[in-house]
Chains A and B, each alone.
Chain A
Amino acid sequence: MDLLDKKNVKILERADDWKDAVRKSVVPLEEGGYVKAEYKEAIISGVEKLGPYIIVAPSIALPHARPEQGVVKSQIAITLFRKEVQFDKKDATAQLFVALAAADSDSHLNALMTISEILQDEEKVEQILQAENEEALYSFFN
């Protein structure tokens, strides 16, 4: 898939809380120079202000903020947490974090469209959440 590098697909055991999960999911983007350090904090303050709107479907979060909040170049990183991450709201949990860095309003749209199509298939989402390893996880999106 466009904008998704194999090395930016990770499987982690757990996160301390949702903020830790957001930060961890953004690490590959930061390390790759796609976003500045402030980007993850912008996502967190957005969620603190508006609630967990980054949860786009059951078990799936799409952490993202605005281009001017620290994006250098458009890119996507995918992190699967084996243990569910709880947000500050009842029933708001996620396991798959698709961190999105959008440098402008359209360079990421193709990738987002592909992701949306994949995630519309509930059976496939089940399989993705059970992915055995990072290789298998990556193959769902490629």
Chain B
Amino acid sequence: MAAIKKILCFCGSGLGTSFLMEMNAKKALKNLGVTDVEVDHTTIDDVVPGAADLFICGADLLPNAEKAGKAIGLDNMVSMDEMTQKLKAALGL
């Protein structure tokens, strides 16, 4: 599996939910002891192949993300538990 160095969280507008996910992803990575991964947030328009090694979005937008690459869909975008578990699985920890 290719190493994940860049994670892009996105939502429809790139302002609200994507930012919530970015914060939680950063927190979760810190808790997992992962320090060398860059996390950013953006709008769905920037989700193209190669833009990131892993995309994170709400479960509704997952099909869009999977077209661009490896992706995680969240049912609860404020849940730290779900974020941590899914990141763990995606990073193979």
- Chain A residues with Cβ below 8 Å from B68 are none
Q: Contact residue range for chain B? A: 20 to 34
Which B residues contact A (CB, under 8 angstroms)? 11-17, 19-20, 23-24, 43-44, 57-58, 60-61, 64, 76-80
* Docked-complex contact B23 and A102, CB < 8 angstroms: no
Q: What is the CA–CA distance of A57 and B76 in the complex, to the nearest angstrom?
A: 4
* Docked-complex contact B12 and A100, CB < 8 angstroms: no
Per-residue interface assignment for chain A, residues 37 to 63, with 1 indicating a CB less than 8 Å from any chain B CB and 0 otherwise = 000000000110111111111101010
Nearest 4 A/B pairs, CB to CB: A51-B60, A56-B77, A64-B16, A57-B76
Cβ distance A117 to chain B, nearest Cβ, rounded Å: 9
- Chain B residues with Cβ below 8 Å from A89 are 60
Q: What is the CA–CA distance of A65 and B12 in the complex, to the nearest angstrom?
A: 8
Judge whether A136 is part of the interface by a CB distance below 8 angstroms.
no
User: Which one of B11, B24, B57, B64 lies within 8 Å of A116 (CB-CB)?
Assistant: B24
Which A residues contact B (CB, under 8 angstroms)? 46-47, 49-58, 60, 62, 64-67, 89, 100, 102, 105, 108-109, 112-113, 116, 119-120
- Chain B residues with Cβ below 8 Å from A49 are 12
User: Which one of A57, A66, A109 lies within 8 Å of B78 (CB-CB)?
Assistant: A57
- Chain B residues with Cβ below 8 Å from A46 are 12-13
